[in-house]
Chains A and B, each alone.
Chain A
């Protein structure tokens, strides 16, 4: 192992890791929002919108992210829409993650008994207040393990972004291998940096899961 080479490469990796993190955060935040909206639309059974959401979820979950990104990066310009690499990456990630988040929220929403909603409404709360104060807090706490798994999944999926010429971690590693043939060093750093990002996220997720476990309401572990 060429340690000196690895040290020299560190700044490039740090920069790439930062980019990966930024895009992943933006993508995850937007996917959470999109997923929640999709899940609510489906659970409220809004006629046309429900159908569109279902179609989107099937399309998104049953096509690879790589294919989705190709479509955005190479297909859209043919239709006269030009997106930057970063834009493509974020949109692609949201398109992919949104459906997974929607399914996670849906499982949570379905776990809240109908009688909970009725008892809230019987007190004179509006449907909106019932959703905000009664249904969602319970639903989200049930969804947390699935949401956390999705977050980790989405961060890992960012490794595909190098195909849209985005200088993320994977891109930097491939670049270094191509230029210097230092395969071992480049890949070791790559694994190290992914772990550096993902281990804390996993630990945070595990803590959060313990914290909101349904039976533990009022008894934070």
Chain B
């Protein structure tokens, strides 16, 4: 039997007295695209950060390909090579050009040769139409270009799982599309992803499953079709109403 790529069991995390994650459990099969939705401050980002070891947690187990990441002796530097993460604020390295941004981790963390890494970078850049930006510096790129480069930078490591933390939240509307298109393409190619987003239409198109969170708990997990049309819980209904506008009758 094939093990799940990711298993999260009873994950609990608190800052001082405030409990942010109240015992979350879910699994992710290879090729799944899980969209995590929920109001601000419900713990979505914290969940991603825990999976990538950027945030310590109090209890619970996270398993990647069946391997317990909370066990002693687990090297997070190795785990993170298999788990790519993209941030809201891009976080490209401003002192390096696009190519060097892409090459740094494969060269230093994976020990790839320069020619091999460059070839990988070139083909990725080619694919998203940014090959001519190879020698550009991050500050010379638009927000959408930066975020696409940030996604490629994570892909350079050939990760098994990609985490997207509100990656379009800082972008102008006309830039959002190009980033979402790239993510959709990755999903189609079979990449396993966890996406935290407020782009509900995109979520509906990309997700294989929607996990709705509120106040540190999983409120419901549904297929996107069910979640967006007949959400099971009132809290999800309330949440989805935020994105829905009704045309009101004009007074006169």
Contact = CB atoms under 8 A, between A and B. Distances in A.
A29 interface: no
Given A124-B80, A124-B157, A217-B137, A118 B91 contact: yes
The binding surface of chain B is classed by DSSP as mixed
Interface in A60-79: none
A219 interface: yes
A115 B89 contact: yes
A122 B139 contact: no
Given A123-B80, A125-B77, A217 B94 contact: yes
B110 to A, nearest CB: 7
A178 interface: no
Contacts of A126: 77, 109
Contacts of A215: 139
Interface stretch (A47-55, A132-140, A180-188, A196-204): A132-140
B78 interface: yes
B28 interface: no
A108 to B, nearest CB: 12
B80 A218 contact: no
B85 A119 contact: yes
Interface string B42-80: 000000000010100000000000000000000011101
A29 to B, nearest CB: 24
Interface in B181-230: none
The binding surface of chain A is classed by DSSP as helix
Contacts of A113: 91
A121 B108 contact: no
B84 A138 contact: no
Contact-residue size bin, chain A (C-beta under 8 Å from the other chain): 20 to 34
A160 B81 CA distance: 55
A116 interface: yes
Contacts of B83: 122
Interface residues of B, number: 31
B164 to A, nearest CB: 12
A120 interface: yes
B105 A124 contact: yes
A116 B77 contact: no
A123 B97 contact: no
Contacts of A122: 52, 54, 80, 83-85, 154
Contacts of A217: 94-95, 137-139
A123 B104 contact: yes
A138 B95 contact: yes
Nearest to B156: A123
B91 A123 contact: no
A129 interface: yes
Interface in A137-159: 137-138, 141
B93 interface: yes
6 closest Cβ pairs, A-B complex: A218-B137, A119-B91, A124-B81, A123-B105, A124-B109, A122-B85
